[in-house]
Amino acid sequence: MPKFSAKQIKTPDSVIEKSVFHLAWPIFVQILLGMSLGYVDTIMLSNYNETAVGAIGNANSVLGFLTLAFTIISSATGIVVSQYLGAGKKDRMNTIYTVALSFNLVLSVIISLVVFLFSRSLLSVMQVPGNMLDEADVYMKIVGGTIFTHAMIGSLSQIFNSNGKTFFGMIISFGMNIFNIIGNYLFLYGPLSSFGLGASGAAVSTCISRIITTVLAVVYFYAVINGRFSIKYLKPFPFDVLKGLLKLGIPTAGENISYNLSQLFITAMVNTMGIVAINTKIFANMLSMFTYMIALAAASATQIIVGHSVGAGDYDFAYKRVLKTLRFGLIISISVAIANWLLSPLTFHLFTKDSSVIKLGTIIMFIAVALELGRTTNLVVINSMKASGDVKFPTVLAMFSMWLLSVGLAFVLGVCFNMGLVGVWIGMAADEIFRGIIVLIRWIKGSWRGKSVVLDEAAA
């Protein structure tokens, strides 16, 4: 089996030559903008109609869960594209692009039908109040009708990032936010407010912003990435490509779904602990989000580099790069987490005057220092393992640890031993630290080596 070296394929525009920071900072901004899109609707609607805020919040919860299906292929696309580009096998790129985009387009049609036919039933299962149900139902149907844009943007963003074009991913996220804000203003407060659409107007604004963004992304895909999306690449149908994408994507999507379900269980658990615990959890998550986004951006950038170097057969380069990123990532994450803890009496005071929430929040932010230690290790190492093609082990480990420790231990300590939110946070921290130790040992041992998608194809 020939072994390629990262040094052999370096070019002036080589992704392997780029620093983690060069790739990571646009991803950080992209994550920040992606999260803010939902907040923008909430903030702008809060001054318009409080019922509409609740309607959109509930509708987005259901839509968010349904669109997790798109991560099956989009996450795998990033891994496969990185490895093939690293191996210099550009001849199959258009086939990979076409299969990935086609799969998500077909899936988006199915999800749109589900939304159109069962949106009201899904909202009823969520126990949405009757005064919000009509607005939430209309919002879901409108946004669900253009859910293909969500699928396309997700897949194309992975393609751009894997090609080292993380800056454009940031630009399209910024553009989508700007278009959405303008649309919201026109429908809620501007010349189109006379229609009185409310949540429906926000839905139309969201759809228009995503359609414009999708068009821009497709233009960039053709003009800069030089990618092609055509039915001719599906004749004869490349079952090997689809099989490879599903092999990588299903475990990753399973992990995401498991995580979201475990968080729902934890939220339900905290909801039984009273208003102090509920509010403290919300504020603590908000304060920890900045640390999480830094770690996730660094992990995503490292994943791209590892994918390229593994595709080139240079496992030693990938090994060293991950440990280097992890070292600096831990320094930054722990520093921010400690600062969060020390400043928590002041920062919590910005959200609430309740002394009980502030006191509990300070304890939670202290535990969060240990939690961030494990979470940063998990994000960097597990993303890199997936980039190398080692997806089954971290997925099985995550599902086992999440439910045994994050949910199970949180229940035992928080509910059975009456430790409340402190017990819940200890359980979540134990989960992150346990997984962090296991995956770091696996990375150092090198069990992830030799699982490249490109090597699998060559062997076949």
DSSP 131-198: HHHHHHHHHHHHHHHTHHHHHHHHHHHHHHHHTT-HHHHHHHHHHHHHHHHHHHHHHHTSGGGGG--T
Confidence band of 122 (pLDDT split at 50, 70, 90):
confident
Report pLDDT for 319. 96
CA atoms within 13 Å, Cβ hemisphere of 3: 7
Q: Is the pLDDT of residue 3 over 50?
A: no
- Mean local confidence (pLDDT), 62-90: 87
- Specify the pTM: 0.86
Confidence band of 189 (pLDDT split at 50, 70, 90):
confident
Confidence band of 46 (pLDDT split at 50, 70, 90):
low
Distance CA 3, CA 315 (A): 10
Residue with structure tokens 């969520």?
126
Asked if residues 427 and 408 have their Cβ atoms less than 8 Å apart, the reply is: yes
Confidence band of 456 (pLDDT split at 50, 70, 90):
low
Confidence band of 234 (pLDDT split at 50, 70, 90):
very high
Asked if residues 160 and 300 have their Cβ atoms less than 8 Å apart, the reply is: no
CA 169 to chain centre: 14
Asked if residues 94 and 228 have their Cβ atoms less than 8 Å apart, the reply is: yes
Residue with structure tokens 């005057």?
353
pLDDT tens-digit series, residues 237-286: 999 889 889 988 888 888 888 888 898 889 888 888 988 998 898 889 88
Domain ranges of the chain: 17-237, 251-459
Q: What one-letter code names the amino acid at 166?
A: T
Q: What does the mean pLDDT of the chain come to?
A: 87
In the chain, the largest separation of any two C-alpha atoms, in whole Å, equals 68
Distance CA 97, CA 82 (A): 12
Distance CA 311, CA 334 (A): 32
Give every CB contact of residue 372 below 8 A, 6+ residues apart in sequence: 288, 291, 292, 295, 333, 334, 336, 337
Asked if residues 195 and 115 have their Cβ atoms less than 8 Å apart, the reply is: no
Report pLDDT for 23. 93
By percentage, how much of the chain surpasses pLDDT 90? Answer: 50
